[in-house]
Structure 1
Amino acid sequence: MSTSRALGYRKGRASRGEDPRKRYPIYPIRGAAPTLTEQRDEVMRLLADDGYDGDLTELLQRAEAITGQIELAQQRDARLRALQGALPPGDPQPTPGQRRDIPGQQPGDTPQDPVSVAEAFVRSKALENFRANGKQGKFAVEHRAAPAGTVTTGTLLPQNNRIPGIIPQNPDFPLLIANLLDRQTSDGTTLEYMRDTSGPQSTWNAAAVVAEGATKPQSGPFTFDLISTSLKTVAHWVPITRQAADDDSQLMGYINGRLTYGLDFKLDREILTGNGSTQMQGILTTAGIGAYQPPVGNTDSKLITIRKAKTQGELALYPPDAVVLNPLDWQDVELDQDGTGQFRVITDITGGSAPTRIWGLTVVSSVAMAAGTALLGGYRMGATLWERQGVTILMTDSHADYFTANTLVILAERRANVAVHTPAAFVKITFAAATS
């Protein structure tokens, strides 16, 4: 008797000289373990057999199981063909278990998506083709900090983006002023939004218990302005030799160390002080933001001044979540001492700088903020940074006489603007002048 596993069981048939009271195993035609095809064919034969008098429920369960296994196998084959079709022409097919080398990835690293602008650039197929073509021509690679959709408008004009309502607060721990804001993606070139110009009002809510038949109180007033502005382009470029363009490490150094940092640095300045016309809309230049300055003769330290400004923001019904200071002012906060000479903010000077939180607020120390001033506010409640595209890196040999000098140009740019939809969520702090 064959030692292979039975495909199932059937009742004996007297026409074959078998005992009808017994169940006889069904073995595959060949002695080896049955393949999916063999199992399918056997079940199909039994289903088509009008004289089959075995357990029909069991047969149907087997048919269902085999059908599911075949569908999974077909899906696996389809995925394999799709992945093979996505490889560039001439690219060798990876064998099972083989790791594909990715430019910019260190030996032993687990393959993963690019985490920076520079990594996305050096891993791009566009850079590979540019090098293979003798580093001639021009190409661009765009990288977004977070996944975002892009709409191709074709012959249709891009539509204006009109932004509704209030953005919910969601504080985090950023290193840049831009990361304090809610960040969204714009698909158009013109940005429209409603700006709340009602101003800080502690009595806007007039809700009250009203007697039967009495006049109900009216809350407000509330006023809104429709603001229409355009997205602004921030860009700069640096020269790089053809030899350096062949070195992934040097390329990443240029892109991360100079180009991307330069864009971030300028973006922070624009968020604070942009004039709103030829530049982005800055928070400090927006009408309607609050202000706090210690009274004349007041000797409050900067540490105390920030705390009192926080109260002003809370009284305006927009709880602050962060404060931006100049490094010189943050230095004064860190070095604030009590009567015994102990630092108030940091107790262990060997452990580095003070925590980047004070009075429950996230602290960003930036030279984009002028010394002697600070900006406190509910950043995510008060403003949104809208970006038309992520950081785009372009490289070309077509600039002035750089072609003959074996020099290329790398250019970085981004398009963005700030929608300050709730100016009352911010408080500008002016610190008291130091007394001798």
Structure 2
Amino acid sequence: MTTLTAARDKFAALQASLGTVFTEAKTSDGQYDFQKVAKETLQASLGMDAKAHSTIDVVKRINEKNAELDEAATAVEALEAAEKAASSHSDREKAVRGLPMPGGDKARSDSAVQQLKALGDMVSDEKAYRDWVERGAPDGITLQFDEYLPSDMLAKGLSINTIGSKAAMTTSAGWAPESVRLPGFVEAATRPVQLLDIVPMARTGQAAIPYMEETTRNHGAAEVAEGGDYGEAEFVLTEKNGTIVKIGTSIPVTDEQLEDVDQSQSYINSRLVFGIRQRLDGQILVGNGTTPNMRGLKNTVGIQTQAKGADPVPDVFYKAMTKIRVTGRAIPTHHVINPTDWQGVRLMRTADGVYIWGNPSEAGPERLWGLPVVQCDADAAGTGYVGAFNPAFVSLFERRGVDVQVGFVGSQFTKGQRTIRADTRMGIVFFRPAAFCSCTGL
């Protein structure tokens, strides 16, 4: 049987192995080149032999190790829950083994719980006590209650319902209960980053992105008769420019918040960086191009359009793929669909009620016509996109990565405040708009 310690050790070992592989594979631009991983690391961390392996082989083995890591994490969580249940059970048993309550002795009452009177009532009801009082209470008197166990007397005494009873000790007249706040916090719901992972990235050191576009391409190739004239070709190149824009955000914060609350600055920094990436993610799709906005895919001049009409939704996306192949002369790579529209596809059924995209008990494929589906709600439901997301047709250019700075604004210095700001400079260029198609009327 696996113990919690063993499960945690296994999880840590798997985590460390994958971490070593990712560290060696990471390139200077933040990408991963798994051919960089040393053979010794592949052998020690992934259990692969010392021979050369293709990237696909390494990735498959990484995925297998990642699945083992997920299983190990699940085992740790299950064992932790079991140990917590055992601890709770022990605490409950301790409570049950506390002081016996009145009537707890089965030998004294088989049919009903014996009720123990308050000590004052027991004395006043005793005949010897009443006779003693009538005689003028001479000397003293001794009373015995042999039918009660000492434990019963003690339990009754704990109810503070005895002779000379005083005020009950409560949280308002005794110790107030101490409450310790749970670690962490509940995150507010917000749109995650959804598109950045599929958009190719490049670096630029300029304030704009100049590039040459072949705007005319007429081939004059044809059969030539002996002594005949050769056909004349025509090629024209035109310089185009992409725009670099700045995306920024900031928040004022007091000195005390930064100094007195652990990790407050790292929390603020991470939130600001995420906000910039989230905004960039949305601008890539729906930026309107009006300064200082990016011009996103939706508003790029020259992208193709496929209306749904009376077609089923899957047909619309296949026709868009065909347009990209025939008119855009590109190979489509991804679908971008609003989750609400994808829900309609996922729930499609045959006439006899069979789900087309897989049984409800299964996760189902996140694919349509062989291409991966990226669920993105940066644009409203009703419009989807198909595109060839590779560097030949689109690139996100980074002039400068996200930079976080701290400074004073206005009178903040004298108020004990400061402003934390973050910004980045990026530009998106769709080199061949016809390699993308919007699907409308979904």
Structure 2 residue aligned with 1:291, among 302, 305, 311? 305
* Structure 1: unaligned runs, 5 residues or longer: 1-107, 116-142, 148-171
* 1:383 match: 394
Structure 1 residues 379, 212: closer, same or farther in 2, change over 3 A? farther
Higher relative contact order (CA 8 A, sep 6+): 1
Structure 1 residues 291, 406: closer, same or farther in 2, change over 3 A? same
Counterparts of residues 71-90 of structure 1 (less than 5 Å): none
Q: Is residue 2:413 matched to residue 1:399? A: no
Structure 2 residue aligned with 1:368, among 370, 378, 397? 378
TM-score, normalised by the number of residues in structure 1: 0.51
Q: Aligned-pair distance for 1:419?
A: 1.6
Q: Aligned-pair distance for 1:363?
A: 2.0
Q: Is residue 2:272 matched to residue 1:254? A: no
* 1:189 match: 207
TM-score, normalised by the number of residues in structure 2: 0.51
Residues 305 and 431 in structure 1, CA contact (< 8 A), matched pair in contact too: no
Structure 1 CA distance for aligned equivalents of residues 349 and 251 of structure 2:
45
Structure 1 residues 294, 411: closer, same or farther in 2, change over 3 A? same
Q: Aligned-pair distance for 1:368?
A: 1.4
Structure 2 CA distance for aligned equivalents of residues 261 and 344 of structure 1:
37
Structure 1 residues 383, 185: closer, same or farther in 2, change over 3 A? same
Structure 2 residue aligned with 1:346, among 339, 358, 382? 358
Structure 2 residue aligned with 1:330, among 322, 337, 342? 342
Q: Aligned-pair distance for 1:384?
A: 1.2
Amino acid at match of 2:371: L
Structure 2 CA distance for aligned equivalents of residues 362 and 205 of structure 1:
36
Task: Report the secondary structure of 2:356's partner residue.
Answer: coil
Q: Aligned-pair distance for 1:391?
A: 0.9
Q: Is residue 2:428 matched to residue 1:414? A: no
* 2:322 match: 311
Q: Aligned-pair distance for 1:319?
A: 1.0
Q: Is residue 2:286 matched to residue 1:276? A: no
RMSD of aligned residue pairs (Cα, Å): 3.7
**Alpha-carbon displacement from aligned partner over 1:207-241 (angstroms, at most 9, x marks no partner):** 5665555555566x665542234411001123445
Structure 1 runs (4+) greater than 6 angstroms displaced: none
Amino acid at match of 1:292: Q
Structure 1 residues 333, 289: closer, same or farther in 2, change over 3 A? same
Structure 1 residues 326, 213: closer, same or farther in 2, change over 3 A? farther
Structure 2 CA distance for aligned equivalents of residues 413 and 215 of structure 1:
60
Task: Report the secondary structure of 1:388's partner residue.
Answer: strand
Structure 1 residue aligned with 2:250, among 224, 234, 237? 237
Structure 2 CA distance for aligned equivalents of residues 195 and 284 of structure 1:
21
**Alpha-carbon displacement from aligned partner over 1:396-422 (angstroms, at most 9, x marks no partner):** 3x1355556654432221101112221
Structure 2 CA distance for aligned equivalents of residues 408 and 248 of structure 1:
17
Amino acid at match of 2:367: R
Amino acid at match of 2:345: V
Percent identical residues: 28
Residues 324 and 375 in structure 1, CA contact (< 8 A), matched pair in contact too: yes
Q: Aligned-pair distance for 1:265?
A: 1.9
Structure 2 CA distance for aligned equivalents of residues 427 and 255 of structure 1:
37
Q: Aligned-pair distance for 1:310?
A: 0.9
Task: Report the secondary structure of 1:342's partner residue.
Answer: coil
Higher helix share: 2
Q: Aligned-pair distance for 1:188?
A: 1.5
Q: Is residue 2:369 matched to residue 1:359? A: yes
* 1:178 match: 196
Amino acid at match of 2:326: L
Structure 1 CA distance for aligned equivalents of residues 207 and 354 of structure 2:
54
Structure 2 CA distance for aligned equivalents of residues 223 and 341 of structure 1:
56
Structure 1 CA distance for aligned equivalents of residues 215 and 262 of structure 2:
50
* 1:155 match: none
Structure 2 CA distance for aligned equivalents of residues 356 and 175 of structure 1:
17
Structure 1 CA distance for aligned equivalents of residues 394 and 236 of structure 2:
17
* 2:85 match: none
Structure 2 CA distance for aligned equivalents of residues 413 and 290 of structure 1:
33
Counterparts of residues 136-175 of structure 1 (less than 5 Å): 145=30
Task: Report the secondary structure of 1:307's partner residue.
Answer: helix
Structure 2 CA distance for aligned equivalents of residues 291 and 225 of structure 1:
25
Structure 2 CA distance for aligned equivalents of residues 237 and 144 of structure 1:
26
**Alpha-carbon displacement from aligned partner over 1:266-300 (angstroms, at most 9, x marks no partner):** 112222232334122322222221111134xx2x2
Amino acid at match of 2:358: I
Counterparts of residues 88-107 of structure 1 (less than 5 Å): none
Residues 196 and 422 in structure 1, CA contact (< 8 A), matched pair in contact too: no
Larger radius of gyration: 2
